[in-house]
């Protein structure tokens, strides 16, 4: 599991430039899917057909989604000395970026710098630049172009029970889906395991993917915040507390029957879980819920410290709990009873 997480998190794939990470994921999931396609926006859609569809009826469609994009920056201007100005791609904090490294799709590496300021409170993105070691505009433009996107550059670190890297949001969700996909048992309903694009820009991939799949129920797998570091904002979710079953976030109030099913399955199977109410942020479930005439939707969340930094951290026990819970919930939904929802 750690090897998979390392390969996924270290891979390049900012929003709108997910080709490299998509191919890595595709190689992992193709043996377990009946059909693998890439839609117009770039979502990787993995369909698993039922073993025996319900007699006299069409199988229902279950959609499970995790986003494979990550936050990044885009080149907006290069000055005469070769320093690069940039626009953000997703939610970034300028204080977090100072001294950090980025990498472009072609392997070019740069370092964030800033103009001289009197007070750190004055640090804004328009005061910052990327230094790729160029000495002129021409030299810089030989390596990168206006509109090129860069991702954070940070290696995976194994801290025994916990691991840290950039892009845990949401490559750890992708890892959970890949492992759950291996464990889930095809039954009477179709399951679409979808790795979405451009979530960091407003759930764009999930909106397109859900419209195409037209699911009868949707589950997102994504990271959530933490409430267990010194003097942090009180929050019910902690690292080591197990899978988080979402009740609410900015994009979603979880469908009550689906949330209840997740809790019931966790308790029946002895899977460690905790309940989550997130005040800010959303997941692909928010887009799935509002598709067409509406879809019952919910989220299984992986507790993650330091979200949207180059050093996001998760607990391996929580990751395993999320895999077990997701596989068991999908088995319930894909069964003849449809988990009481389908």
pLDDT average, residue stretch 82-89:
97
Q: Are 89 and 15 in contact (CB under 8 A)?
A: yes
In DSSP terms, 112 is beta-bridged to: 130
Indicate the SS3 state at residue 5.
helix
CATH of residue 207: 3.40.630.10
Q: Which residues are catalytic?
A: 199
Q: What percent of the chain has pLDDT over 90?
A: 90
Instruction: Output the pLDDT for position 342.
Output: 84
* Burial of 277 from C-beta contacts in 10 A (0-12 / 13-18 / 19+): middle
Q: What percent of the chain has pLDDT over 70?
A: 100
**Which pTM does this prediction carry?**
0.94
Instruction: Output the pLDDT for position 161.
Output: 96
What phi and psi, each to the nearest 5 degrees, are found at residue 220?
A: -100, 150
- Gap between the Cα atoms of 16 and 150, Å rounded: 11
Write the CA distances from 211 to 34, 250, 253, 281, 286, integer angstroms.
20, 21, 20, 22, 13
39 and 92 belong to one structural domain: no
Domain count, the chain: 2
Instruction: Output the pLDDT for position 57.
Output: 76
pLDDT average, residue stretch 212-220:
97
Q: Which of 17-31, 87-101, 255-269 has the lowest mean pLDDT?
A: 87-101
Rounded-to-5 percentages of helix, strand, coil across the chain: 30, 30, 40
Q: How confident is the model at residue 105 (pLDDT cuts 50, 70, 90)?
A: very high
Instruction: Output the pLDDT for position 51.
Output: 87
157 in a structural domain? no
pLDDT tens string 172-201: 999 999 999 999 998 999 999 999 999 999
8 in a structural domain? yes
190 and 58 belong to one structural domain: yes
Instruction: Output the pLDDT for position 225.
Output: 94
Q: Pick 51 or 245 by higher pLDDT.
A: 245
CATH of residue 119: 2.40.30.40
265 in a structural domain? yes
Instruction: Output the pLDDT for position 122.
Output: 84
**Domain that residue 219 falls in:** 2-70+166-340
pLDDT average, residue stretch 157-169:
97
pLDDT tens string 13-58: 999 999 999 999 999 999 999 999 999 999 999 999 998 877 777 8
pLDDT at 144 over 90: yes
- Gap between the Cα atoms of 296 and 216, Å rounded: 7
37 and 95 belong to one structural domain: no
63 and 76 belong to one structural domain: no
Sorted by sequence, the CB contacts under 8 Å of residue 224 that are 6+ apart come out as: 237, 244, 246, 276, 278, 281, 301, 302, 303, 304
Give first-to-last CA distance, the chain, whole Å.
Answer: 32
């Amino acid at each position: 599991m750690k090897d998979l997480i390392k390969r996924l998190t270290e891979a390049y794939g900012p929003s709108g430039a997910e080709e490299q990470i998509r191919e890595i994921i595709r190689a992992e999931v193709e043996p377990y899917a009946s059909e693998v396609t890439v839609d117009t926006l770039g979502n990787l859609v993995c369909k698993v057909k039922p073993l025996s569809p319900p007699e006299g009826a069409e199988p229902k469609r279950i959609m499970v989604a995790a986003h494979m994009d990550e936050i990044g920056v885009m080149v907006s201007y290069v000055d005469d000395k070769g320093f690069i100005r940039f626009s953000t791609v997703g939610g970034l904090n300028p204080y977090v970026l100072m001294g950090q490294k980025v990498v472009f799709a072609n392997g070019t590496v740069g370092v964030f710098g800033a103009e001289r300021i009197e007070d750190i409170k004055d640090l804004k993105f328009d005061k910052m630049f990327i230094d790729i070691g160029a000495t002129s505009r021409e030299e810089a433009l030989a390596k990168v172009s206006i509109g090129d996107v860069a991702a954070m550059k940070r290696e995976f670190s194994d801290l025994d029970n916990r691991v840290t890297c950039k892009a845990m949001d949401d490559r750890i969700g992708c890892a959970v889906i890949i492992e759950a996909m291996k464990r889930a048992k095809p039954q009477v309903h179709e399951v679409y395991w979808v790795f979405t694009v451009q979530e960091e820009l407003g759930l764009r991939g999930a909106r397109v993917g859900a419209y195409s799949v037209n699911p009868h129920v949707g589950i997102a797998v994504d990271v959530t915040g933490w409430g267990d570091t010194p003097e942090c904002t009180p929050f019910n979710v902690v690292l080591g507390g197990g899978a988080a079953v979402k009740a609410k976030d900015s994009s979603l109030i979880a469908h009550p029957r689906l949330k209840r099913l997740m809790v019931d399955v966790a308790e029946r199977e002895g899977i460690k879980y905790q309940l989550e109410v997130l005040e800010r942020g959303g997941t692909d479930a928010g887009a799935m819920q509002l598709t067409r005439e509406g879809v019952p939707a919910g989220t299984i969340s992986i507790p993650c410290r330091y979200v949207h930094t180059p050093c996001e951290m998760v607990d391996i026990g929580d990751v395993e709990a999320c895999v077990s819970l997701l596989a068991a919930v999908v088995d319930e939904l894909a069964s003849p009873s449809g988990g009481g929802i389908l």
